[in-house]
Amino acid sequence: DGVTEVLAHHSESLQDKFMEIPCSEDYDSHKRFEGCTPRKCGRGVTDAVITRGEAERIRRIAERGLSLGGSDGGASILDLHSGALSLGKHFVNLYRYFGDKIQDIFTEEDFALYRDVRQRIQQRIAQAFGINSASMYLTKPTFFSRINNTEAKTTHDEYWHPHVDKVTYGSFDYTSLLYLSDYTEDFGGGRFVFMDAGSNKTVEPRAGRVSFFTSGSENLHRVEKVHWGTRYAITISFTCNPDHGIGDPVLM
């Protein structure tokens, strides 16, 4: 595993922590958008954008949605945009599968909170990287994740492999994670690990904590396996290419 340095302890409340790193060449193989495509790369952590109370409200949205399904393995996904929901070893479209019953699960206030949180995270990322937030677009997939220590049943459950978001998804330029539960209190393991040459930089989840980074291979990362309890988070990602942009989710 190499040497591990903890970038953000779960017990501390961080105003802002930012670490600049050289950009990889990953962005060169995609169309560049001046004033948005990363020229300054790095990673940041803040506990000052989303309150713990808001994180609790958002976790309840995830819990309600995921209570309708859930994977047979340890990792379950809920995507409010596309409607993708883990169910057994497969995915279903929440909106088609449950139809009008969705109105009993989610409210307009839920979606308004989701939108508000997304906007604040977008502004924080833009500020950190010195770009205009209007030049960034929400992109897919943007999803809730619920991870426990159940054994993986399909490759979708194998969340712990090192990966690069720009390579995996193409459209991603900036990735953010909003944590909705607390490391060591709600779950063990499950820390977020940036894998740098010769050492690892680790973020310990804390409800309301936002971790964000440029999506290229300068930020190769993985999530440790969860050993006990349940870890909730949302991945919210942004692109500079308007063709890959999506709107905020709407209560169908």
211: nearest Cα among 5, 3, 1, 19: 19
Which residue is catalytic, options 118, 146, 206, 231? 231
C-alpha 180/C-alpha 209 separation (Å) is 8
How many Å apart are CA 36 and CA 25, to the nearest integer? 15
Burial 146-178 (b: 16+ CB within 10 A, else e): bbbbeebeeebbebbeebbbbeebebbbbbbbb
Catalytic site residue 231?
Answer: yes
Burial of 232 (C-beta count, 10 Å sphere; 0-12/13-18/19+): buried
> In this structure, are strands 192-196 and 221-223 parallel, antiparallel, or unpaired?
antiparallel
Q: How far apart are alpha carbons 207 and 234 in whole angstroms?
A: 11
DSSP 80: T
- Residues that are catalytic: 231
